[in-house]
Structure 1
């Protein structure tokens, strides 16, 4: 899309917090924050998967921030753009036109969007066109040539052989790596810049490639629909411009085996450490604060930075109870008595945006993040 727009001498603005700004600039585009993209763009095209954080990301508030006469294209996933708000913006003249290839409900059935002449709708059938079938045939041929030339295939369905002794040692820690990546991605804000993996203990004496692959899988899980495995993990990371450094240490002062993931961005840095506890992945430290937590798959983590003073735990528990949100477990880490603290709560229910706003507005709360597992 960027290359095509540049060919027409358009100025291209890009917002993707998970691609380094250097890679965006290398394409000839300008990396910007969403506010600027909305305010300056004449045409806006979406290219994001549908996740909890991208569902409804373009609605009434975003339309109000856009130029009058803006045009939108969504051929990514239905639900990214609020269809009712889009129709309202088109009828009000704020949006001059829109092209939709995907819909919140598919098949969409009858919808008022179809009756608006300034909105073009098409079925999501690009893979069935003559051109797409030709592209598929070319992809297959190119991957055969890659394999015959000793290069890894881009879309493998099988994983390479891992030595039994390696799998026996690192196997319980694959889920740890994936968990750390999943949590780090959702706690980080700003443009991703650095990824560093540290391996401590006996696991560092074995091939850590599987652990690295599962960390990449965790980092991408909340933000992408790509299927990451042992074969394509490095290729996918490279395609995003991710340079991942590794550190190997034969021992750790506290844990027999430990994995440490440090992720940096233009705004912040997050370091999460984990290990396997009774063959279950656990988080033992967030930044420099000790947190001993065994998260449950499918649940939610509420991560709050706050002042360490009397009443904080009760304040948060009362607020969540008032919103009918059940707490299954809680851990608190602190730098010193009445200093900086971190509360991590395991929740059975997903808090609504209004609940998170109410928590963030509480006295003594510095920040609030929700992690979906």
Structure 2
């Protein structure tokens, strides 16, 4: 579920309530199961938006790694000197894959294992055609690898398949994590899971907290407002403008099993950021990042088909925290894993119910304003990209 921040950074007028003033219809049931609709999403939403593929420093230098960007198989090349390039994993000769394994060594050239066509690893320029001897009409310059745009934000690598990529945008200002030491964080734990649901079902579950009291007892204890079925005080019926200073229960500092920080609190945080306990940053359709006071968690959503979705969850720490005697990053991850497993089971339950021939679509409640916004965004992205 998505948890918005409505605490007061200073004594200013409170934000208006985000509650919907009507109960709109959901998307039709077919869009969660139909293969053709899914293919359209891959060709539009996932082909035109920035897709997070992980932390840049987790891409080894002198290596190339395969990643999935919507329907495209892409290779990310990291030069020994640290330079980055990305290309579709398809030879321009006859289409063979260039990188066969998940990760392979990278030199100055990317050589096709089929017919030995070779390309410059930094630019994708065609350098050699193996044993083939082209005729004079063959334009080498027009047969380089097809590049994929890339950019880095806060140490995360994003790829974009579009010909003219738009700016990277999130649900909040990208400067919101400027007080966290994002560039220097190190990935300490990785957890992968597959869930039997459409990718949108997982995002919708993330976008509301009506399910929290019945699905997340541990989370509701740590973040009391969730126990009311809302993500923030401003969602309550009759909200009078009171804005709490923090989100966590009294005495808790972070999302750990006991609520204690797992290491030193990041020194650059303001008092308000420490009091809040966390900050969510959401990048549709690909990922969200949760910055806690002592570590950062990232969750990537990777569609595998109309009814299958992969989650790649990573926990990132300062080198100082990782160096603590006896430190175990997997123990820090235990609390979020409890919540994520509960979310996965809820999303699968929701998907199974939507497969009923009796279900044609549903109705959103006023507290599900973020789902409504997600639906409007999705439909606009599919229309604009057609």
The answer, yes or no, to whether TM exceeds 0.5 is no
Between Structure 1 and Structure 2, the one with more helix by share is: 1
Structure number with greater CO (CA < 8 Å, separation at least 6) is 2
